[in-house]
Amino acid sequence: MRKQLKKRPRASVYYGTETGSSRQKANVVHGLLSLSHHAVVKNISECSLEVLTAGAKNENDIVVFVASTFGNGDAPTDAKKLKLELYQKMKGGSLPLEGLR
């Protein structure tokens, strides 16, 4: 049985939230993914491009983002680091998420 569990695909669910509602939704997604995947839930502040691109190739088969907006469509505070990192890479002319689906 343990061998079968180790063979399950890996998934990470990242959430970004101001009020906690996205965290609740991320836990629902986690529950669904856990039926067929080894899944974990993490705050989006734990995510970086390095983790995301390396993780997608080596650690995760699926990466899901659950994020709410606030104000005039602003990103949650805990997502600002990843947003800035993406913006800087794209401003430099690269496509940091190219090849990911």
Confidence class of residue 22 from pLDDT cuts 50, 70 and 90? very high
Confidence of residue 100 (pLDDT cuts 50, 70, 90): low
Residues of the domain holding 48: 8-91
Number of domains in the chain: 1
**CB within 8 Å of 80: residues ≥ 6 apart:** none
Q: Is residue 101 part of a domain?
A: no
Q: Which residues contact 19 (CB under 8 A, 6 or more apart)?
A: 68, 70
Question: Mean pLDDT for the chain?
Answer: 85
In-domain check, residue 98? no
Say which CATH number the domain at 18 has. Answer: 3.40.50.360
Q: Which helix (H) or strand (E) holds 64?
A: strand 62-67
Q: Does residue 100 fall inside a structural domain?
A: no
**Residue 65: pLDDT band with limits 50, 70, 90:** very high
Q: Is residue 33 part of a domain?
A: yes
